[in-house]
Amino acid sequence: MSNHTAELTHEVHRDDVGARMGMWLFLFTELLLFGGMFLVYAVYRHEFIDQFRIAAMALNTTVGALNTIILLTSSLTVALSIAALQKGNKSLSIMLLVMTNILAVAFMINKYFEWSEKFQHGIYPGSETLLNLPDGQILFYGLYYVMTGLHGLHVIIGLIFLSIVMVFIFTGSVNKDSYVKLENAGLYWHLVDLIWIFLFPLFYLIQ
Amino acid sequence: MQDNHSHENHEISYSTYLLVWVSLIAFTSITVAVAGINLGDYTLFVALCIAALKSGLVINIFMHIKFEDPIFKVFIGISIFTLIVIFTLTFFDYFYR
């Protein structure tokens, strides 16, 4: 009898807390990656307060705010998707992930138009127009492109990560009783949201 | 086995998530509105405080840390502390160079 139980336990053994902890440890490395950039930003902003202000005024606050709302909403849909799967509502969970992906694409489309507008004005890394600006503004735009660019890359990776988990839910390998993959994809997505929460005021809201 | 499902006892309801989302949107509106007011040196401070509040909501509720094993909170504390140390040391170097 006891043998039988042991066998059963062995078959279903897994460590969800450990899996989430592994994800968190990875997220800390991401935090340090972006932390380093925020540090560079902090020092240069302190050194070129006025130039940063002038450069930031040229960014579109409305687009930035819209993207903030889009990302916050996509975080909500991921969180709801996990809750739906916990309650055993598979189709709702998938639908919410589809919504998340749509929002992620909307974010990137916004970003595309925002960057294209800057490119049209000749402001892109290494452009002549940009290099003729004062040092502080060159640094601001350099940081703007690197930080929002790296963040955008994370959005794309998150989008792929969530899509893969969505397929797992569809095939049933991620389900009501085993959904740590969805939780970890969600954690990654929330981190993308967290970084944007800081990028938004630092780049778009300097007056 | 017990561990695998320990956090299931803390299933968060849809309405809690919606409430958090509403608060996050409200904080975003506040931060945009406040940016228009000239608070001088405090502008950045206020913006960062609001961002920190928003992060707290996302980490605790959306990322379930409030209901997670305490060791997760210790880890997060250590990471944030590390970042603060790095920032402080860099600015010491920058100011007193």
What the block records as the tokens of B14 is: 């849809």
Enter the DSSP assignment of B41.
T
* Residues B57-72 pLDDT 10s: 999 999 999 999 999 9
**Of residues B5, B62, B94, nearest to A75 (C-beta):** B62
* Residues A38-56 pLDDT 10s: 999 999 999 999 999 999 9
CB–CB of B86 and A39 under 8 A? yes
How large is the ipTM? 0.89
Does residue A179 surpass a pLDDT of 90? Answer: yes
Sequence-distant (6+) residues with CB within 8 A of B90 are A39, A43
Where does the pLDDT of residue A1 fall: very low under 50, low under 70, confident under 90, or very high at 90 and above?
Answer: very low
**CATH class of domain segment(s) A16-204:** mainly alpha
For the entire predicted model, the pTM comes to 0.91
Instruction: Provide, as residue numbers in chain B, all residues whose Cβ is less than 8 Å from the Cβ of A187.
Output: 63
At A123, is the secondary structure helix, strand, or coil? coil
β-partners of residue A175 are A178
* Residues A92-124 pLDDT 10s: 999 999 999 999 999 999 999 999 999 999 999
CB–CB of A69 and B28 under 8 A? yes
Q: Which residue of A has its CA nearest to B12?
A: A83
Alpha-carbon distance of A164 to A58, in angstroms, equals: 38
Tell me which of A64-68, A129-133, B6-10 is least confident: B6-10
Q: Mean pLDDT throughout A145-164? A: 97
Does residue B9 surpass a pLDDT of 70? Answer: no
How many inter-chain contacts (A to B, CB under 8 Å) are there? 116
Q: How many helices (H) and strands (E) does chain A have?
A: 8, 0
Alpha-carbon distance of A183 to A82, in angstroms, equals: 7
